Structure formats: C-alpha cells, structure tokens
Amino acid sequence: MTTLEAAEHEAEAKGTPQSTVKTRKRPVWMERPNPLVQVVKAIALFISVILVIIPFWSVLATSLADQKTINKSAGGMVMWTSSPSLNAYKAILSGGVVTRAMIISIGITVVGTLLSLATTAGLAYWLSRKSFGSKPMLLLLLGAVLFTPGLIPSYLVVKEFNLLDSWWSLILPVMVNAFNVIVMRAFFQELPQELFESAEIDGASSFTILTRIVLPLSKAVLAVIGLFYAVAYWNAFFNALLYIQTTDKWPMALVLRTFVVNQTTIGGDQVGMSEVMPPQLPLQMAILVVAIVPILIVYPFLQRHFAKGVMIGAVKG
Amino acid sequence: MREAISTGDVEDAALQRGRFSRTMRRLSRDKLLVGIGLPGAIVIILFHYLPLLGNVIAFQDYQPYLGITEAPFVGLTNFSFLWDGNPAFLNALVNTLILTVIQTVLVFPVPLFLALLLNSLAGEKLKRLLQSILYLPHFLSWVIVVALFQQMLGNAGMLNTFLINHGLPQIHIIGVPDLFKGLLTTQAIWKDAGWGTIIFLAALSQVDQQLYEAAAVDGAGPWRRLWHITLPSLKGLFILLLILRLGNSLSVGFEQIILQQGPVGLEASEVLDTWVYNNGIIGGNWGMSAAAGLVKSVIGILLVIGANKLAHVFGERGVYEK
C-alpha cells in the first residue's frame, strides 16, 4: 500500500503517472542489454499486441467482404477483401432490429452516464466535506463495496419496483457505483480546501461551490469515471438479459448475443433491406463492428486519464 | 460536535435544547449539502441494501404471487442442497472451485509478467503505444469478446479456415467440454491482462532507482536485480490484489459462461452463479437459489478475512490492519 501511496503523490506532482520518472536513458551503471534477451522480449510483446489486433482486423475485413470473398474462404472469416462494400452496414443501419437496438443503447448510455455522474459527484461531494451525516453514510458506502447482494434478491427488488421490462431497470440499479464514489471523494478531498473556505466567506452556497469550483477542477476524474459508467451502460448484458423481456426493447448487447454469438439468421424483415440481402457473416460482423466503434471513438480521448483514475481508486479504496 | 458550531450564541442555545435539536440544527445548516448527496445515497440504499435484506427469502418458501412479506418461513430447508448432495449443485461447486484455482494461478500473474516486459522497454513512445493497444480489450463487453473468439477459434473460424486451406487437421476449440475451462482462461487473459498492468507499472515506476544502482555496483546482474529488488518491491501490492481477488473468487465470469453454455452443456460449464440463475430466475426455484447465493457471499467474505490473516502472518499489511 505504501508504494501505491507514493505512486499517487508522484503522479500528482508529475501529472502524467505512467511516464516514469525520467525519459528512459540507460543509466551509467547499467550494462549494455543482452541482444538475445532484447529480441525475445520484443517478440513476446509483438505477439501479445498482434493477438489483440488480429480479431479486430479480421472482423472489420469480414464485415466489408462481399459474397465472392466469403465463398473463397469457405464461408469463414477473411483478413483481406479486394472489393470492400458497405452493404452490410447499409442493411443493419437502415432501420430494423439493429438500428433500434443501437438507438436504445445510445439513449441508455447517454441518460445513464449523465445521471450517474450527477448522483456520484453529488454523493462524493457530500462525503468529502465534514458535514451532517457524512460519516455514517461513508460506512454505508464501504459496506456496499464489500457486500454484494445476490442475484435473486436484486432481481426481486427490481421486480417489486415494477421496473421489469423497463429501460430504467438497466439504469437505476447500477446508477451509483460505490467504488466510483470513493474514488471521486478521494479526488475532491485533495483539492485545495482554502478555495472552498474563501468561496464560503464570499457567500457561495454548497451548490455554487460544487458547480463553480469543484467540478471544473475535477475534469480528469469526471472523464475517467464517466468513461467507466458509459462503457458499463453500453456493454450492459447481464441486466438486460435479466430484466428486458420484450424483443422490441433489446439493447445492443442482446442483439449481439442473438445474432452474433448464437448465430440466429438475420432475415430481410429484421433489417431495413428486403430485396437483396448481404451474406450473413458480413452482416453479423457489421453488428459486431457497430457495437465496438463507440468504445473506440471515446477511447483515445480519455486514455490519458486512465492511470490516474485507477491509481486513486487503488489507493483509497 | 462542539467545534463544528461556529458562534458562541448558537452553541449555547443548541446545548440547551439538547442532542436532538443540535442534530436538527446541523442538518439545517448542511441541508443543501445533504440534498446534493441524497439522490446518490437513496440509490445505494434502494439497490444495494434493500436486496441485501431481500436475502431473507433464502429462509422462506418464496412464491412470486405472495411477495416477500407474505411468504412463510421455512428455516434452513432451502439450504438442503448443502447436505443432501444435490448432484447439479455439487457439479457447479466443483467447476467453480477448479476455475477459481486455474484463474488464480494462471490468469492473475499474467499482468505482472506483461508489466515487467513493458517496463524493460527503452522507448517511452513505443511503450505508450503498446499499452494503449493492450488496454483496449478491457473495455469490450463479454458478448463482444465471446463473439470475437467464436469467429477466430470456432469451427468455421479463422484458425480452422487457415488450417483447412493449408491442408492441416482442424482443431475444435469452441463447444468442446474438455477444452471449456482453457477457453475461459484464455478469454480472461485476452480481455484483462493488459488492463491489469496499469497498477503494476505505476508501482514499478516508484521503485527507488538508487537501489538498482547500488546493486549494480555490488555486482548484481539484471536478473539478480529483478529478483532481489523489483519483485520484493511489488510483493505487498501483489498480495493486496490477490486478497481482493479472493473475495470475488467464487464469481468466475458469469456473463462469459452464460453466453457459451449452449454448445458445451451444463456439466462442463455450470458454476455457482449460473446455477443460481438457471435454478432461480429460469427454474423458479427462488428460495433455494437465494440460499446458494447467500452461501457463496459468505464464503467470499470468509476467504478475504482468512487471506488477510494469512498476509499478517507473513508480515504484510493486507487489505486492512489487524
């Protein structure tokens, strides 16, 4: 734990926690690296990176492939298509099951993330100040991290609230993640408290302090926690499986399960096109791609904040 | 309490009116702050603590039309699977334990190796790029990961297409019960090994460079330095993460497994979590499933406490102090 605490302070000071203390140049005392060892290391890393990239590449290439290319590979995945076509994407995005699921998932992700950030920040802010009831509430929060309610009782609570088959069942139960609250509270506590005091003397209310001082200073942590929430909402499979019964209300995860994992055939009436259907495999891979793309889009923007968010969580949690 | 109240007048007045009104006074002073935090607090209570109370149905003969309040209490009847040797439950338990051991031994140390590998790289830019790529799978859902694996390793997947085209024998990986646990392990490594390096890399960057220098002066080569400086510096963190993992150890990838249960069958794939789901939500056996879930949670908590004790014995801090 102590190493971690030091790590965090270091991160605080440098701003960029992952870039190690100095730009790495071989220190005078270090011997010239053994070329053989270097080669082995490089190969090991190269293989791990390739193993991550290949599936993405292949899925993308297959989603763009036409019937001829698919036939040539005996109906399997391809790595290269000479005549890429967007037909599969046109089919799934021109209305029908996948388009609807896409809109539903985007809606749940946007609404859920905003609500989550607002409630999480509010709770974290309350607990970060020495104020009425913040201590017992903090204990309650730690308890929530430690004790996870079972599957059956959670289901029954959602059922008793009449949330079954409602999109709210995908948002409300996971809206506030206790661990994220703890991370955010830790961040708020590290802000210079003098700022709050002087604002209070100037007559600012708690709400003003939160919106004008705390939140603008906490963009990094808001970005990380926001990303975690957004990814969780976008990916939510388990809750959807449990709580959503009507096919028309399916989010992306259930569409993926049905059409890609279980390989249920996609009919013309299930997508916007009914005349000429692209082959099944590109259709399935196109669904997979549209499920991955939103994550790829936000990923680079938020990536630089990861380590910081994770470290705070590890230290204070 | 006293110093929290600012002016002398207020303090005296509050003292006279006793504890309750003092509390009320503090509440009214902080009401805006409490109000800001309350929505989040309510969600935690409703969706975290209420279900905890809902575990009471483990001791009831719960019927959906009766509801929790009406259901009759039946004592420990629901826990009968523990002693009457319910074969399905035993199978799930055995699978869970095997997976727990496999995942602790094989999956858990991978991020450490990867972090050591990344850390020994020279170029900072290259290192960053590799990290970005390796972190990515963590953000994909299990549905996506399972779908990707099917397309790569399935019977009509990339690997087999490649093997057929080159006249080699096919390898069936997806849907073979014997290989299922290996498949789960591989998927878990693929998804989260890169992500797990973050914390180790951060700890590695904090190791005092002078230690390395001193060791080198004393004649320690790279491997000696790794063994005597780097690894000991990571020991505390490693044990901490291991203990935290133990608490969740009986939850071995619910989503991952439920998605792939179809083709391999229950015998190879059923674990405690899926047993609870299949038996309770699907099978309508509410009380018994809740009981199994409760047993699982209790074991998880005991494991954490036990592991923490063990860490203390070996002189480590663990999750919490003695």
Q: How far apart are CA B192 and CA A177, in angstroms?
A: 20
CA of B168, closest CA in chain A: separation in Å?
15
Number of cross-chain residue pairs from A and B with Cβ atoms under 8 Å apart: 321
pTM: 0.83
Q: What is the pLDDT of residue A17?
A: 45
Q: Are B103 and B250 in contact (CB under 8 A)?
A: no
Q: Which three-class secondary structure state does DSSP give residue B73?
A: strand
- Candidates A176, A177, A174, A196; CA nearest to A128 is A196
Compare B103 and B3 and report the one with higher pLDDT.
Answer: B103
pLDDT value at residue B153? 87
b/e string for B87-114 if b means 16 or more Cβ within 10 A?
A: eebebbbebbeebbebbeeebbebbbeb
Q: Which two tokens stand for residue B75?
A: 């004592």
Rounded Cα distance, A193 and A208, in Å: 15
Q: Is the pLDDT of residue B1 over 60?
A: no
CB atoms within 10 A of CB A269: 10
| Cα dihedral sign, B136-B142-B143-B145 | positive
Within 8 A of A132 by CB-CB distance, chain B residues are 23, 26-27, 29-31, 33-34
For B137-161, give one letter per residue: b (16+ CB within 10 A) or e.
bbbbbbbbbbbbbbbbbbbbbbbbb
Q: What is the pLDDT along chain A (317 residues), one digit of tens a residue?
A: 344 444 444 444 444 444 444 445 677 777 777 888 888 888 998 999 999 999 999 899 888 988 778 777 776 777 888 888 888 888 888 888 889 999 999 999 999 999 999 999 999 999 998 888 888 888 888 888 877 788 899 998 998 899 999 999 999 999 999 989 988 998 898 888 888 888 888 888 888 989 988 999 888 889 889 988 999 999 989 999 999 999 899 999 999 999 888 888 887 767 766 566 778 888 889 999 999 998 888 887 777 776 665 655 554 43
The predicted pLDDT at position B145 comes to: 93
Contacts of residue A27 in chain B, CB cutoff 8 Å?
209, 212-213
List, in sequence order, the alpha helices (H) in chain B: 8-29, 31-44, 50-54, 87-102, 110-119, 124-135, 142-153, 158-165, 180-204, 209-217, 222-225, 231-247, 254-264, 266-269, 272-276, 286-313
Cβ(A94)–Cβ(A273) under 8 Å? yes
Q: Is the ipTM of this complex over 0.90?
A: no
Cβ–Cβ under 8 Å, residues B259 and A254: no
A125: nearest CA in chain B?
Answer: B37
Nearest to B202 by CA among A133, A206, A314: A314
Asked if the Cβ–Cβ distance from A52 to B133 is below 8 Å, we say: yes
Q: What is the identity of the amino acid at A70? A: I
Count Cα neighbours of B230 within 13 Å in the Cβ-side half-sphere. 20
Per CB-CB distance under 8 Å, the chain A contacts of B149 are: 55
Q: Which of residues 47-66 of A touch B (CB under 8 A)?
A: 48-49, 51-56, 58-59, 62
Of B248 and B78, which is predicted with more confidence?
B78
